[in-house]
Amino acid sequence: MALIECIPNVSEGRRLDVIAAMADAVRAGEGIRLLDCTSDASHNRSVFTLAGTADGVERAVGVLFEQAISAIDLRAHRGEHPRLGAVDVVPFVPLEDVSMAECVALARHVGAAVARRFNLPVYLYEEASTDPSRKNLEDIRRGEFEGLAAKMATAGWAPDFGPSTPHPTAGATVIGARLPLIAYNINLATDRLDVAQNIASAIRQSSGGYRFVKAIGIPLAERGIVQVSMNLTNYEKTPIFRVFDTVKREAARYGVAVLESEIVGLVPSAALTAAAEHYLQLAHFTSAQVLEHRLKQR
C-alpha cells in the first residue's frame, strides 16, 4: 500500500489547547496516523508528523489548514523560528510503494486545493518547485510574514497558486515534496566553538561541502562542548556515514575527537543499514535480506 509522510509545520507552539485540538482532528481522519507532534514554545511552532494514504494525508492537511487559519493570527505571532504563514510549510515525503513523482503531484494538487478553498497564496518548493530560483525553503521564506506583501509585489514572486497578495492573518504557505530529512548532530570533545563552525563550513553545501548537507556549529554551553548540527536532506546521495567520517577527519585536524553523534527524531531504516553496509564492507547485500522486509513482502 502506498504510504506518504507529511510534516506540516504550524505557527503555534504555546497554546497547547489549540495544538491538541489540531492533533485530535488529524487523528479522527480515515487512512491517516499521527506519528508525532512536537511543539516548541520559544519557536512558537508545532511540527506534526503524519503518515497515510494520499487521500488520508490530503484530508488531514485540509483539516489542519482549516483549524490553523481560524485559530492563528500571524499579525500577533512572535517566535524565534522564521515563518511565512499560519500553516508555514507542508512537505510530502515518499515512504513506501510511492514515487517522488507521485508526491510532487500530490503537493501540487493539495497546493491548488488549499489556495482555492482558503484564498491563500501557495508557493511550491523542493522537488515540487516549478522555478529553480524558488526551490529552497529559506529563499521563499526570507522576509517572513512581515515582509510578505512587499515581496509578493516584486517580480518573480507571484505565488504558484492563489491570490497575489498575502492572506491577511494566515500569510502564505510553502508546499512541496522532498526525501526524508535526517536531523543529525555530532558532538565534539571540546569547547572550541570555532572548531565546530569551521567543520560545519567545510561540510555544508553552501560553502563548498557535500551537496545535501546543511550545517551550523553551535555551543552546548551546559555541557561545555560544541556541536555540528546538521540536516541531511538526501541520505541516499549524501549518506550519514560519509558525513560522520568527514567530520571526524576534520576534527582530528584540530586535535579534537568526536564525542558522540545523535539522530533527532525519526530516521529511515535504510539510512542506518547503509552505514552498516559501509563499515562492515558488506558485499552483495540487498534490503530483501533484512528479515523484517521479507516478513512484510509475503
Residue with smaller CB distance to a second copy, 28 or 149? 28
Q: Which three cell numbers stand for residue 166?
A: 498575502
Nearest to 187 by CA among 163, 154, 222, 142: 222
Cα–Cα distance, 19 to 104 (Å, whole number) = 27
Residue 213 three-state SS: strand
Min. distance of Cβ 261 from a second copy in angstroms? 5
Q: Residue 3 CA to chain centroid, in angstroms?
A: 17
Residue with smaller CB distance to a second copy, 78 or 296? 296
Min. distance of Cβ 227 from a second copy in angstroms? 12
Min. distance of Cβ 47 from a second copy in angstroms? 15
Residue with smaller CB distance to a second copy, 60 or 240? 240
Residue 255 three-state SS: coil
What residues make contact with a second copy under the rule CB under 8 A? 3, 5, 33-36, 51, 95, 180, 187, 240-241, 244, 258-263, 265-269, 272-273, 275-277, 279-285, 289-295, 298
Residues contacting residue 287 through CB under 8 Å, at least 6 positions apart? 270, 273, 293
Residue with smaller CB distance to a second copy, 57 or 170? 57
Residue 192 three-state SS: coil
CB 50 within 8 A of CB 6: yes
Residue with smaller CB distance to a second copy, 144 or 277? 277
Min. distance of Cβ 245 from a second copy in angstroms? 9
Residue 30 three-state SS: coil
Amino acid at 124: L
Cα–Cα distance, 88 to 173 (Å, whole number) = 5
Cα–Cα distance, 151 to 209 (Å, whole number) = 30
Min. distance of Cβ 20 from a second copy in angstroms? 17
Min. distance of Cβ 246 from a second copy in angstroms? 12
CB 248 within 8 A of CB 258: yes
Question: Where in the sequence numbering do the catalytic residues fall?
Answer: 81
Residue with smaller CB distance to a second copy, 49 or 169? 49
Q: Residue 40 CA to chain centroid, in angstroms?
A: 15
Amino acid at 18: V
CB 111 within 8 A of CB 103: no
